[in-house]
Amino acid sequence: MKVALLFLNYGPYHLARLAAATRECKELGWEVVGIELARLQAEYDWKTSDAERTAPIITVVADKSLESVSYIRLIRGLQRQLAKVNPDVVAIAGYAHPAMLSALIWCRLRGKPAILFSESNEFDAPRNYWRELIKSVIVKGFKAALVGGKASQQYLKKLGMPPDGIFFGYDVVDNDSFDSSKIKALPPPIEHPYFLAVNRFVPKKNLLFLLHAYALYRRRSGSDAWRLVLCGDGPLRGEAEELAVELGVEGCVEFPGFLQQPELLPYFAHAGCFILASIEEQWGLVVNEAMAAGLPVLVSERCGCFQDLVMHGGNGYGFDPTDVERLADLMFKVASDDAKREKMQKASLERIKQFTPSYFADGLAAAVRYGAGLNKFRRL
């Protein structure tokens, strides 16, 4: 059996999943082929080398960014590649992009099972009745789904996906790349204790709220206050820098800009705590990375990963992303208790052990078995 994994673009997260799926499926006698719509994507400016692409990947458009290519060109190119590869099963990352929807139609016309990769949650965006009705029709065109966690599972069930056809393991990273025992040897990027956040500078990441919470935390902590490092870039960066000045914390907040994964490792290695303050987040893979690096985490309750990764008081805390005082209190709590923080570090490492590329591969194999109607499949 030949299984195609279709993503918009293969970045570090996707390459780790593809490699694990290739190993798992080889043991089952299956072949795995990666397909991406474009090699480049402006929204996520990942840089991956050919050496990192250890499994076969077909690129529909190699010379332009995804956002600069017309839907017609992408759809036609994808249809040609699907015809060449002729997979028995196609696993598709969502259905919002027209080319992804065209891949589902390609499967339906040929009687081939399509597997949905999904991390959407009911609470991650305002919902419209008619739009949800259309989504329900689309979702029913898939034979099975691989989701990130409980919130995504609940949403797909509501859209009409049979519960037995929903499997877990989609949202994982290569934990070994963030192994704290290895990356601690990297030189510290700054010489002071700090909170770390890694985001695009866009409204849903809630970084202005985070700056207000940090300013309040500093007023309460005085000379013992940690610094704040905001890695990333985007349209709100200038506004965030101006707000830091307005709040009087500009000398305590670092803006390193957008960093590729190897450049981020020193920041993960030496941070004291990781914060994700989003008001809308389908999952939040940076939380996986932070936990793999052994960090306590403070995570907005509006993030899809919250239910699955955050053990309140264990490896971190959840918070309402509109409550500035609550986040400031939690920042003070984590920074001021060394013994508790050490326990949280160990709890993060223990919790994230399950969420590995192998977990993705197992879930994918189970979803393919189910979707293909094989008699024996393993329910995860």
Which pLDDT tens digit goes with each residue over 276-306?
999 999 999 999 999 999 999 999 999 999 9
**pLDDT > 70 in the chain, percent:** 98
Q: Are 31 and 5 in contact (CB under 8 A)?
A: no
* Distance (Å, whole) CA 228 – CA 193: 9
At 353 the pLDDT is: 95
At 145 the pLDDT is: 98
Q: Is residue 379 over pLDDT 60?
A: no
pLDDT band at 380 (very low <50, low <70, confident <90, very high): very low
Q: Is residue 317 over pLDDT 70?
A: yes
pLDDT in tens, 130-180: 899 999 999 999 999 999 999 999 999 999 999 999 999 999 999 999 998
At 53 the pLDDT is: 77
Instruction: Report DSSP state, residue 145.
Output: E
Instruction: Give the CA count within 13 Å in the CB-facing half-sphere of 128.
Output: 3
Which helix (H) or strand (E) segment holds residue 363: the answer is: helix 357-371
pLDDT in tens, 209-245: 999 999 999 999 998 999 999 999 999 999 999 999 9
pLDDT in tens, 29-83: 999 999 999 988 877 777 777 777 777 899 999 989 999 999 999 999 999 999 9
At 378 the pLDDT is: 45
How far, in Å, are 21, 352, 354 from residue 317 at the CA level? Answer: 32, 15, 20
How far, in Å, are 47, 366, 375 from residue 22 at the CA level? Answer: 22, 14, 22
pTM of the model: 0.92
* Distance (Å, whole) CA 187 – CA 264: 12
- Same CATH topology for 2-172+356-371 and 176-352? yes
Q: Is residue 100 over pLDDT 90?
A: yes
The domain 2-172+356-371 is placed in CATH, from the list 3.30.465.10, 3.40.50.300, 3.40.50.2000, 3.40.50.620, at 3.40.50.2000
Domain extents in the chain: 2-172+356-371, 176-352
Q: What is the dihedral of CA 271, 257, 197, 278, to 10 degrees?
A: -170
Query: What spatial distance separates the first Cα and last Cα of the chain, rounded to whole Å?
Result: 21
At 40 the pLDDT is: 85
Coil, strand or helix: which one is 274?
strand
User: Rounded mean pLDDT of 175-202?
Assistant: 95
- CATH class held by domain 176-352: alpha beta
In sequence order, the 6+-apart residues with CB closer than 8 A to the CB of 64 are 38, 40
Torsional class of 169: left (φ above 0), alpha (ψ -120 to 50), beta (otherwise): left
Average pLDDT taken over every residue of the chain: 94
pLDDT band at 377 (very low <50, low <70, confident <90, very high): very low
Q: Is residue 322 over pLDDT 90?
A: yes
At 315 the pLDDT is: 97
Sign of CA dihedral 180, 181, 185, 191: positive
Structure tokens at 338: 């060394």
Which residue matches tokens 């990947």?
Answer: 57
Which residues on neighbouring strands pair with residue 145, listed in sequence order? 116, 166
